[in-house]
Structure 1
Amino acid sequence: MKAGRAAPASGARPVYSEGYKTLVLILLVVAYTFNFIDRTIIATIGQKIKEDLHLTDTQLGMLGGLFFALLYTFLGIPLARLAERFSRVNIIAVAIVIWSGFTALCGTAASFTTLALFRFGVGVGEAGLSPPAHSLISDYYAPKRRASALAIYSFGIPLGSMLGAIIGGQLVEHFTWRTAFMVVGLPGLAVALAIKLLIKEPPRGHSEPEAAPALAEDVVPDEPARPPATLWGELTEMGAVFKTLFLKWPVFNMVMGVTLVSMGGYGAGQFVPPYFIRTFHLSYGTVGLITGLAAGIGQGIGTLAGGFLTDRLAKAGARWYALVPAIGITIAYPILWMVFTAASWKTAAVLIILPGIFSYTYLGPTFGVIQNMVPTRRRATATALLFFFLNLVGLGGGPMITGWVIDHFAAFHYAHPDLQGLGSAISGFFAADPHAFQAACPGGLAPKGAGAAAASACGGALSLATRQGILVAYALGLWAAVHYLLASFGLKGAMAKARAERGEAD
């Protein structure tokens, strides 16, 4: 396609081959994969960072969540508004360059403060990917294939999490955590270049049902002139999207569902690799392989199955957009309980693959509903507003709060080694003193020169606390399942009304 070649007829649409659409989707999946490699690698190498920089689990959670999520969250909406008016391809390419560079810089951090600043930078770049990517995918794929396409794009989450865990584990075991950041960050620059050169910017609303004539694939139609941007106009657009997401009962419950399950998943996920290291004393390479395969196989199957299963079941009723996640998440939690109470690491390693198959069914259906509920020129904004909410609460709060809970549980169990039950830890939560535990066990380890008893006391308290903190975090999924169930009531009517407002046929 030659940029600048105009359509011969006003309102005509180019025809993109299935092969080209597949190429676009693959490139966006690759970008999202690197997005999650760079975002989540800190979970795998976090235990080594904690020991090296003498961090608490609250600080480790802040590095994995809050410090990344703040600018990631607040910049998402402005970048999405830019994506509604300017080239989405260019925005994505620049975003990849920014987050890849800051990921590499994380390897130069000498303190908690500098590492936190670089994680802010990673968040700035990563904010520019998903809103324009969701909008692009929705313009390349028709409504009835949109959940499947978005599920395939979302496959970058488990794929990136898997590769980040496996690669990060091997690098930190054989080199250092600093090397790990640099090695995974720099290749993103090549991905940015490929996207800039190979992805074409489609006209807005290209795949919506309409009567416009089709053009050859290498023709770029002239889009309608955009009205000049004004503050009032932008606020009006934002208000309209906010009303759709938060004032329509079924959609609000979908938003609450994805937020809560993300909060539990991000929170627990930050400490799953440390759990295997603290409890079973496994090597970083082994832990990376365990958690990586769990993400790649379990979460990957769940992500794809959720989208394709929903597209099939939704033919019988739109309520399945909500019921598929509700059922999947409910099935997952008992399995998670078995994983983190298993006495053998081998048992836990086998079982940990299963929960993701069920719980990750929420991604495709949720994003499909959001994209189908708004007009074409508000889709990037809808994605950004959704991500604003779920990332501020889920990603920003989940790891930090889970780390805070683990710090308190560890302090309690260190002070009361005879009281090991979760109920006891919860009842004594606020009486525990995490600062005393950090002083006695800096970085979760007994001071150098301390005896075996001190090492056992520090390690035992932290191991038990990590298990219990993870189980508490994952329990948020059950709350999320309730919201998905509530969303199933009225979702069919809400989606039908949205289609009618856009002038689309059922």
Structure 2
Amino acid sequence: METDHALYAAQDTDRHRATITHTRPTARTAWLVCIVLSFAYALSFLDRGVLGVLAAPMEADLMIGDVRFSLLQGFSFAVFYAGFGLPVAYFVDTRQRGLVIAGGIFVWSVATILCGVSQNFAQLFLCRVLVGVGEATLLPGATSVMRDCFPPQKRGLPLAVFATGLFVGSAASGFLASIVTRYAQDISAWVPVVGALHPWRMTLIFAGLAGLPTAVIVAFIRVRRSESVAQNAHLLDIKPLVALYREKPVLLSLHHVGFTAICFASYALSAWIPLIFVRQYHWSLVEVGQTMGGLALVVGPAGSLTGGVLADFYARRGVAGSKMLVALIAAIGMSLSGLALSLVTDSVTSMVVCAIFFFFSSFVWGLAPGLLQDIVPPAILGRVTALYTAIVNLLAMSLGPLASALLARQFSGPGALSQASAFVAAAGSVLAALLFWSATRAFARFHQDVEVELPHAVQEH
């Protein structure tokens, strides 16, 4: 165990020395890069989430049932996104990062355009695979670039700005679908092979086109690497990773499984909300797009900010594992609102309950990586984060929407999908709450050990 700590300390010392000699770009350039990458992140969630808003017209035109459509939303995207994550991370560490990210943006943008002209399920599935492959470049690439743009003590705000792209892109998917549907209904366009350009097709085409100029801009990003990355990028040594999981198996397992469960619950409901309101409450696509866009733009950032404020609040009062405690609160809030959704019968109350569910589920985006930063040495934080992200994508994003669609077959009537999604979301949230409750003790013990070791470590340094 002491050898492992010595290894981590040596790696951290090398990282610290490299940071001192590393010449960073000016503050103006660094923030310009951050804004461009944040916009690209928003586009990725626009292309990723717009399919859920367009579920009703796409299922009707292409005669795709809920189960197969769930594969388009989750499995086709998530499996290949996770599968290409680690190989892409290698190219990020060894090639020009701006070009790698730009290539990914180009791939997912063209794939989204091709989704708009697809004629059947198989074509859509292949295009969604390409969307996942392209988007696998952005998160590791942007994280690497911004690490070299900002010093450690000034990375919090840039990363927060970057994270807002998630909510902006999700909101834009709703707004774009509603605007195109409203103004394109009277347009009659016929394209050979494709046929009539229905509003849902035009929405996907516009979403994809927005990424092409962004890819050109990102290709010109040039940020010098830190010395530590340049020296070690070619090494594929997994010994520190194995040592970490042997040292903290309970702590990391509870983190990974707990947050996978809560993300499973989130995807199980959020993927189907637009279709639920179209099918059960007879909302138009314009109403759904505007309402969901507004929720994503307001409730998402409010929930993420609240989760961070609560975590800091408990931390200042000496609560061990404060982030895990807040995650427990989020899981309880999601489970209660999920159960409530299965009982309500009018659209207004249902949307209020959904807003509450989204509010608590938004806590996760800051808590999960924040906890990893607390317990994982910086030298291997990237690989651990990539592994955790792969698990979440493979299990939560792939299986959450599918589980709701399969369970809906056991119900009848227009509310079948709503009841199934609410039940799956509540069950996943309850499981997450139990895991987080168990993890609070493990994190308390971990923080006690850190407090004992910290003075000695500081003295040695």
- Superposed pair shares fold, TM > 0.5: yes
In structure 2, relative to structure 1, the CA distance for the partners of 1:261 and 1:172 (3 Å cut) is farther
Specify the code of the residue in structure 2 equivalent to 1:30.
Answer: F
One-letter code aligned to 1:29? S
- Superposed displacement of residue 227, structure 1: 7.1
Task: Verify: 1:480 aligned to 2:432, yes or no.
Answer: yes
What is the correspondence of 1:29-428 to structure 2 with a 5 Å cutoff?
29-140=38-149, 150-172=159-181, 174=185, 175-198=198-221, 200-203=223-226, 225-226=231-232, 228-229=234-235, 233-236=236-239, 239=242, 247-311=248-312, 313-315=314-316, 316-317=318-319, 319-339=321-341, 341-406=343-408, 408-410=409-411, 413=412
CA distance in 2, matches of 1:177, 1:67: 19
The 1:106–1:204 alpha-carbon spacing in structure 2 relative to 1, beyond 3 Å, is farther
Secondary structure, aligned partner of 1:381: helix
Root mean square deviation of aligned Cα: 3.1
Amino acid at match of 1:189: L
Question: What corresponds to 2:442 in structure 1?
Answer: 490
Distance 1:323 1:60 in 2: 36
Is this contact kept in 1: 2:149–2:223, CA < 8 A?
no
Unaligned 5+ segments in structure 2 are: 1-17, 186-197
Higher helix residue share: 2
* 8 Å contact from structure 2 (residues 245, 252) kept in 1: no
- CA deviation after TM superposition for structure 1 residue 140, in Å: 4.9
Shift of residue 336 of structure 1?
3.9
Query: Distance between the aligned counterparts of 1:394 and 1:329, measured in 2?
Result: 15
1:187 partner letter: A
- Which range moved further: 24-33 or 490-499? 490-499
Rounded Cα–Cα distance in structure 1 between residues aligned with 2:222 and 2:339? 44
Normalization by structure 2: what TM-score?
A: 0.82
- 1:224 positional shift: 5.6
Alpha-carbon deviation of 1:250? 2.2
- Tell me which amino acid in the other structure corresponds to 1:57: D
CA 1:148–1:314 in structure 2 vs 1: closer, same or farther (change >3 Å)?
A: farther
Kindly tell me the number of residue pairs found equivalent between the two proteins: 424
The alignment partner of 2:118 has SS state of: coil
Equivalent position amino acid for 2:423 in 1: V
Closer, same or farther: CA 143–312 of 1 in aligned 2, 3 Å: farther
Task: Give the secondary structure class of the aligned counterpart of 2:64.
Answer: coil
Residues 90 and 484 of structure 1: CA distance in aligned 2, closer, same or farther (over 3 Å): farther
Distance in 1 separating the partners of 2:331 and 2:19: 47
Q: Are the equivalent residues in 1 in contact too, given 2:88–2:136 (CA < 8 A)?
A: yes
Q: What is the identity, as a one-letter code, of the residue corresponding to 1:108?
A: V
Task: Return the offset for 1:47.
Answer: 1.3
TM-score, normalised with respect to structure 1: 0.75
1:33: Cα distance to partner?
Answer: 1.2
Q: Give, as a single letter, the amino acid of the residue that structure 1 aligns with 2:416.
A: A
Paired with 1:198 and 1:385, the residues of 2 have a C-alpha distance of 27
